Amino acid sequence: MWPANLVGAFFVALFVFDITQKNYDQLLGHAVIGVFLTIIFMSLSVIIGDNLTGSLLIVPTTFALVFLLTVWFMNESIKKRGCCMKCSCKETPEKKCESPSHLTATPIV
């Protein structure tokens, strides 16, 4: 029954996060989805066992974590190179915002 407990704990944490961030419009949706998925995982644990149900939970979670980490590392790499996805600076005569696609490097020859 550990997969159902894990899903329930995730949605309780999401519920608390929504409250702390004052996202009250998302509370009902997250609560309904959380109860629904917890019941599904509890039923699957009883029907096919904890190990198979856990694999149904862990495999997509692993792919999602790898995807999120890849996006985060790419974003950090872009920031370290001095690029920006959207320019947050205000244009002044001394400092102009340029498009991130504008290349300023000179060739090494």
Please name which of 8, 11, 15, 7 lies closest in space to residue 58, comparing C-alpha atoms.
7
Indicate if the pLDDT at residue 8 is higher than 80: yes
Is 105 inside any structural domain? Answer: no
Higher pLDDT, 90 or 17: 17
Range of the domain at 55: 2-80
Q: Band the pLDDT of 49: cuts 50, 70, 90.
A: confident
Three-point CA angle 34, 69, 60, nearest 5°: 45
What was the pLDDT predicted at 76? 75
Is 61 inside any structural domain? Answer: yes
Instruction: Work out how many domains the chain is built from and give that number.
Output: 1
Q: What is the three-class DSSP state of 105?
A: coil
Q: Band the pLDDT of 35: cuts 50, 70, 90.
A: very high
Tokens coding 35 = 């109860």
Distances (CA, A) of 59 to 5, 51, 56: 17, 12, 6
**Alpha helices for 1-109 (secondary structure H):** 2-20, 27-48, 50-80
What was the pLDDT predicted at 26? 85
Position 18, amino acid: D
Is 34 inside any structural domain? Answer: yes
Is 15 inside any structural domain? Answer: yes
Is 50 inside any structural domain? Answer: yes
Indicate if the pLDDT at residue 79 is higher than 60: yes
Is 88 inside any structural domain? Answer: no
Indicate if the pLDDT at residue 36 is higher than 90: yes
